[in-house]
Structure formats: C-alpha cells, structure tokens
Amino acid sequence: MSNYLDYIFYRISKVYHKYDGDYGFTATFFLSLTEGIVLLDILILFGEIFFPIKTLRDSKLLETIIITVSLMPIIIINFFRYIKSKKRYPILKNKWENENGLSKFMGTILVIATLIAPWLILFIENRIFN
C-alpha cells in the first residue's frame, strides 16, 4: 500500500514540482484529503447503519462528533505524511522516471480514479441516505 501511495505522491508531485519543489506539499494535501474523504465515507456509512433513527441522525451532537472524528485524523495524517514525504520526490523520481508509455497511462488512470472515487462514493451516499 505504501508503494501505491508513493506512486500517487510522485505523480502529483511531478505535476506541481514547479510550484512545490522537492517538498511536494500539494501532493501531500491531495493524499491527505483523499484519505480524509475515505474516512468520512466510512463514518457516514457507519452512522447510517448504527443510527437509523432520523432524529438522532439530524442532531447537532452527532454532526459535531462526525466532524471532529473525521477532522482530527485528517490533520494528523497530513502532518505525518508531510514529515515522511519531505524531500522525497528525487528518490521517487529515480524509481519511476523511466516508465514506459502503457505503464504511465495506466498509472495516470489509477491516480485519477483514486482521487475521484472517494468523492463519487460520498455523492452516492448522500443520494442514498438523504
């Protein structure tokens, strides 16, 4: 899984390297946001399964708990991912610099799908449960 996330980090960093340099802040942000949205998807699904009563779901307390529980890990994940990936772009560039055309195309599709899928799931959950 780490290799998969490193590849996504590399591909996003490659696009924004002109602005971020070797730090890859934008890639770190996108990965952390994606992980946070996945966590939010899981929490929404958990809330819909275990709190099916409409009044309990609509309470401000449950909304506050979900926001707090999803926001704190996003901040923590973002911090540790930034520390881990600081100045890591050159290492990853050496690893994936010489990709062939088909591998690069499939990697691009994989990165786009990884970044879009959590948002799509969130949209579907919103349509189903509301």
Q: Any idea what the Cα angle at residue 23 is, between residues 75 and 90, rounded to 5°? A: 130
Provide the token pair at 2. 């780490």
Give the pLDDT band (50/70/90) at residue 116. Answer: very high
- For the residues 91-120, what does the mean pLDDT come to? 90
What is the predicted pLDDT for the residue at 59? 66
pLDDT tens digits for range 70-85: 677 777 877 887 787 7
What is the predicted pLDDT for the residue at 56? 56
Q: What is the DSSP string of 64-92?
A: HHHHHHHHHHHHHHHHHHHHHHTT-HHHH
What is the predicted pLDDT for the residue at 55? 55
Residue 52 has pLDDT above 70, yes or no: no
Which is more confidently placed, 123 or 57? 123
